[in-house]
Structure 1
Amino acid sequence: MHLRSCRTDNTPDSSDAPLTGGRESNHSDCTGTKPKFRFPPPPRLIKSANNSYCSTASDSSNTSVQANRSYNFVRKKKHKSVKRLPPLGIYWDIENCRVPKYKSAAAVVQRIRETFLVNYRESEFVVVCDVKKEHPQMIQELHDAQVNLIHVGRMSKNAADEKLRQSLRRFGELHFAPAGVLLISGDINFTADLCDLRYRNKMRVILVHNVNVSHALLICVNEHHSFEELLKDLPRYRCQTIANGHGPSTLEVSNLPLNFDPKRLRSRLGMLIENCGGKVVDIFTNEGRASIRFGNYDEALRLAF
């Protein structure tokens, strides 16, 4: 008895077929052997022009996803580069370094920012004072300059200094080197705090001081600047009138005789403004002008016209 094969006579036997590694025989015979699956080659990764890896076997949707990812990566990279600027905390003891006469408080804040925020970013700008004893116009200018104005009542002698020292210590706990601290004051009470920030926290300490400053305070900082020299070229500020004509007003008189005796000039101006309720504040003999202060805007207009 002979067994019949399922293959025809024209079909060559598997034993006579050449060996090709076994992967190309995908047809199954009647013996029930399963076909061998040939896996496709893995996708290759190439580097695109924007330094992002994309697959060669991706379709249009995958390409758009990769483009969005690369765009977000560039945006995050730019955002991180901006954040690399070290923070700078600015603290102003306005009772020790007061705003000069005929200068705007907003202009003073702007000058400080333009001078010291070149290689730093502003972390906070703190001004501590008793707002009830300061001029309302100056307080409004500080609010308009977007600074943190902290009110401290006169309950103790050094209440404002203690509040500033607390803010300095908190800044030293939250930030690390190469952060910086800018203190606008000439008070010797800040010596210990500035010394710790410089030598223990390794921060850059900048001091803007007045004329009467202690040498012990200067040796605790990396650099120091004079408050008067920093603001000497600021333009004179003309006081704005408050709504409804209330509040003091300043009138400036020009074309006065140059290098005249200040006492005689003050006496003569006092006689002219006696009936209007004014008071001579300053006389600039070298420039030939004087400043007269009135109780309200109407009294100043009465003398001007």
Structure 2
Amino acid sequence: MASTSTDSKRSDTDDAHTIESSSSDFQKPKFKFPPAPRLCKSANNTSCSVSCHSDSSISDGQIVKWKKRNRRKPPKLLPPIGVFWDIENCHVPKNKSASSIVQKIRELFFDGYREAEFIVVCDVKKENVQVIQDLHDAQVNLIHVSSTSKNAADEKLRQSLRRFAETHQAPAAVVLISGDINFAADLSDLRYRKKIHVILVHNANVADALILCANESFLYSNITGNLPVLKAKVPSQYEILISNLPTNYDKSKLKNRLKLLSDNCGGRVVDIDRERGKAILKFSSLDFALRAQRRLKGEDVFGYKIGASNPTT
């Protein structure tokens, strides 16, 4: 009986070892993830994955050459520069374009900088219309101040300078186009306290104290002197001959009627021949003359359908 119980225990033990060995055989091995592929720049500036042991189409030497060619700083990393122009103090010379002056300022001082501000302060109601149009075409910020207010332009520019210094830090730069001594205190703070590079463009009548506050100073006439001279535009006049006017009305009534019909096209009545029933209208451009011709032809003037000739110079 004892041997029988011993044999049964041995058989149970063998069965347990068999189950353990079979369960260990069916256990899945632990999976090891491969290392992440490294990234490189392809020839077309896109990211591509390259395995550490794979044969890449771009060699390491080519990648180094690509990095050397692209060492130039992007525009966002360039220090900012702001231009502040008192156009009443340094006005646009006669027969010179304001847009060409803006372009010259950008070419001289913007190398190594990115444009953050370009402010021009003036009274747009008193300034030349062509100058205002040139400044708009040059994509600058035009700020209107009333010329009747004392030092209004200077105060607006000083406020803009202080705001620029609060927004941008060194190694930023500012360009002040003015010769007014009132800017001396602000330029001194920008240079010595804010460590901002100060460039002064001044006229001939400037105080030495203002020049000493700037890192660099330039004479305004030297910058504008080499700019091309604008050719004087000869105003061209175009005439339209009006025919079939009534002959039994006064000249004043005929003139008022023709002026009413051509006023929105810029027409001007220069002569009326009542006996022949004809008149001459003048226009400043060919487009205005053509528009007026289409409008006047066949128009009723006191019961008469008038005729309009082709524009002539």
TM-score scaled by structure 2? 0.60
Match status 1:100 vs 2:90: no
Kept in 1, the 8 Å contact 2:191–2:198? The answer is yes
Match status 1:156 vs 2:136: no
Map 1:55-134 → 2, pairs under 5 A: 81-134=74-127
Q: CA deviation at 1:47?
A: 3.6
Match status 1:184 vs 2:177: yes
Match status 1:40 vs 2:31: yes
Picking from 208, 222, 225, the partner of 1:229 is 222
Kept in 2, the 8 Å contact 1:92–1:126? The answer is yes
CA deviation vs aligned residue, 1:71-101 (integer Å, no higher than 9, x gap): xxx9xx9997321110001000000001111
Q: 1:243 to 1:193 in 2, by over 3 A?
A: farther
Q: CA deviation at 1:104?
A: 0.5
Match status 1:165 vs 2:137: no
Map 1:248-259 → 2, pairs under 5 A: none
Kept in 2, the 8 Å contact 1:97–1:227? The answer is yes
Q: 1:49 to 1:115 in 2, by over 3 A?
A: same
Q: Aligned with 1:225: secondary structure?
A: strand
CA deviation vs aligned residue, 1:162-196 (integer Å, no higher than 9, x gap): 00000000001111000000000000000000000
Identity across aligned pairs (percent)? Answer: 50
Distance 1:202 1:132 in 2: 37
The one-letter amino acid paired with 2:175 is L
Deviates more, 1:37-46 or 1:83-92: 37-46
| Number of matched pairs | 215
The one-letter amino acid paired with 1:217 is L
Distance 1:34 1:242 in 2: 104
Q: Aligned with 1:195: secondary structure?
A: helix
Q: 1:112 to 1:49 in 2, by over 3 A?
A: same
Distance 1:135 1:223 in 2: 30
Kept in 1, the 8 Å contact 2:40–2:49? The answer is no
Q: Aligned with 2:157: secondary structure?
A: helix
Map 1:253-268 → 2, pairs under 5 A: none
The one-letter amino acid paired with 1:129 is C
CA deviation vs aligned residue, 1:55-84 (integer Å, no higher than 9, x gap): 859xxxxxxxxxxxxxxxx9xx99973211
Which residue is 1:50 aligned to? 41
Which residue is 1:292 aligned to? none
Q: 1:214 to 1:240 in 2, by over 3 A?
A: same
Match status 1:198 vs 2:175: no
Q: CA deviation at 1:37?
A: 3.6
Kept in 1, the 8 Å contact 2:38–2:51? The answer is no
Map 1:129-148 → 2, pairs under 5 A: 129-148=122-141
Which residue is 2:168 aligned to? 175
Q: Aligned with 1:168: secondary structure?
A: helix
The one-letter amino acid paired with 1:39 is K
> Over aligned residues, Cα RMSD in angstroms?
3.6
**Gap runs ≥5 in structure 1:** 16-26, 58-73, 246-295, 299-304
Q: CA deviation at 1:241?
A: 6.8
Kept in 2, the 8 Å contact 1:46–1:53? The answer is no
Kept in 2, the 8 Å contact 1:43–1:55? The answer is no
Q: 1:56 to 1:47 in 2, by over 3 A?
A: closer
